[in-house]
Structure 1
């Protein structure tokens, strides 16, 4: 499969990755043949990129940290929780905890898989997929940093609920309108949750140099869980900003994060974060420094910037063969630009 811009998708092409609805059910399943109506609907709900099934790249797969069943459960639970808050009710803390347990199980089982954020977002499901991705990435970083199971559960809970202050928020005194304040106030009232969980929501917009929100705290005043969640939150937000129609590619997001090191984000945590993400995800089209173009088909753990690229050999407009360039072996060749 190949990642392509929605504007270049044509009727008759086959969807390569399942698209979830806002409540965690399947909107469009892998293998469906796309129609004019489907493509138009995807554009209307805010989809900008999708995976399509391409015969030349049919063998390309994306290793996932989370299973589709876990993803569906997380999205559904977040949807139900946010809907409850919007209607003035409380969310089910036990259900959230059980959902995080399932997510933790997948993360621990697949902790050596590089993160490739391949789930397609719409305007309706974006906040739930964002929460899920931030939780998954933060937990992977926590595993790499040697946190124990109790700490991982606290981190995962806080990361999943880091944006809960954006919905159903109580009225707060003047000066405490930022959603991180609201999230903190909501979560600290949950007696079954550790207070550290509420501090993830409270501090995930703080910066290590003191320039963040809502209190402008700095350095070690910011809890480790919040430092981890902050980086995952910034990274995921940069990859998809549906509100402004901007889309930053993974390698560009990594460059921006590196520029924030030691000022906005914690340098040591960032080092661990960069070990878990794929800079050039499978299915993305690239141009190499030797002027060849191809599609990323494989990854190397520990070398996220040196993937395996499949180059299609053509005679005119017709494909006559393919060869693979392993950038971990071909050290004089680099990815010059991303084409999709």
Structure 2
């Protein structure tokens, strides 16, 4: 299990350090680094020039000292090997001399506003976007066109909210819209994709484009018989028909004026697998666009963790376990890890059981991925508890003095707790 991996990794003793470098070498390296700015790798952006790593160059995979960051793959290569780098802003290729203050802020948890303060704004943006998507799917069914302006406006609101606090949007992905599943699913995939883009360090414009691709990835389904999506069992012919939605979506988006050019490709290829066993074209990893790889992950995760006819609904952690098990096979390995890093080991809105038997819902993440904030719902004997927020990064033992942490995650509906109903009753988290 993914949870076991992270707990084991955290509890392992630190490996013995590398052979000490000479004092002159250390001093020389330090003098060079003092001339540049040290940043965490999650703030690395296309256009930056990396002068120094936090490991010796000869121990990295890079052939030359100095990295001109030109692609997202360059960023992933650095993030895989380092925690911090030193950037030379005199070589910064972007228009500004340094990353804009907003982008710099949203990668730091200290700069984020609390989820309690963001939730209502996120809900308003979500409600408006859901209506927009409902209208667009209806327009396409009737032979109309995509209102690109409304799509971009809706996605922009989601990006702004996620930049302020992604946990509020994660809460909203737990809403269940059984009467309008496709529209809700599209919004969920967009939010999860934008959060992944945030984890990757994409610019605001890049996240905006990614969000447009994600929210439109299933638009082809609007041209299929809608009764297919409410059936618990499908015939082989019906399954084959549903598998035509990528081509239908590609055609719709290619003909949409002012649509982001990459959206049609994501609609066409979001069911491709990095091992070449996906559809419709059986593309291998190097031929699948970055945004399509991201949407393949977020689409699968939301499909597994949302209630829909004929499927078993998994808990968020079970969904993450599934993705983690197929990293490097069906899904891009680095992007799976970035997705998990973005939404957390225990995503907001997850139902969890504590080591002492108490049950709650994850409110938001903390710097420690294994110790989020939790809203207590049930006590140790599963009776209703006085709802309160517990910060597991601060509270390490229970009232009996025993270690206090999350024991396991639970599926929605466990012990009568339905996250959707909890939210609709009025999310009281303050």
TM-score (norm 2): 0.56
Tell me, yes or no, if the aligned pair for 1:114 and 1:277 is still in contact at 8 Å.
Answer: no
Residue among 246, 268, 275 paired with 2:341:
275
TM-superposed deviation, 1:308: 4.2
2 CA distance for matches of 1:316 and 1:153? 43
1:224 matched to 2:279? The reply is no
Q: Deviations over 1:24-54 (max 9, x none)?
A: xxxxxxxxxxxxxxxxxxxxxxxxxxxxxxx
Tell me, yes or no, if the aligned pair for 1:61 and 1:282 is still in contact at 8 Å.
Answer: no
TM-superposed deviation, 1:189: 1.5
Aligned to 2:256: 190
Q: Which has the larger radius of gyration?
A: 2
1:72 matched to 2:111? The reply is no
| Matched residue count | 277
TM-superposed deviation, 1:235: 0.8
Q: Which structure has more RCO (C-alpha within 8 Å, separation ≥ 6)? A: 1
Q: Deviations over 1:306-328 (max 9, x none)?
A: 33454866799796998957267
TM-score (norm 1): 0.70
Gapped runs of 5+ residues in structure 1?
1-59
1 CA distance for matches of 2:366 and 2:378? 25
1:307 matched to 2:372? The reply is yes
Q: Which has the higher helix share?
A: 2
2 CA distance for matches of 1:321 and 1:266? 40
2:277 is paired with a residue whose SS is coil
1 CA distance for matches of 2:143 and 2:152? 21
Q: How does 1:154-169 map to 2 (within 5 A)?
A: 154-168=209-223
TM-superposed deviation, 1:254: 0.7
Aligned to 2:181: 126
- Cα 1:294–1:206 change in 2 (3 A) is same
TM-superposed deviation, 1:72: 1.2
Q: Which has the higher strand share?
A: 1
1:143 matched to 2:198? The reply is yes
Gapped runs of 5+ residues in structure 2?
1-114, 225-239, 398-402, 415-430
1 CA distance for matches of 2:268 and 2:381? 58
Tell me, yes or no, if the aligned pair for 1:282 and 1:295 is still in contact at 8 Å.
Answer: no
2 CA distance for matches of 1:116 and 1:152? 20
Q: Which moved more, 1:253-262 or 1:123-132?
A: 123-132
- Cα 1:268–1:328 change in 2 (3 A) is farther
2 CA distance for matches of 1:233 and 1:92? 22
- Cα 1:201–1:302 change in 2 (3 A) is farther
2 CA distance for matches of 1:316 and 1:234? 32
Aligned to 1:82: 137
Aligned to 1:110: 165
TM-superposed deviation, 1:140: 1.9
1:330 is paired with a residue whose SS is coil
Residue among 315, 330, 342 paired with 1:264:
330
2 CA distance for matches of 1:144 and 1:278? 11
TM-superposed deviation, 1:63: 6.0
Residue among 186, 201, 204 paired with 2:270:
204
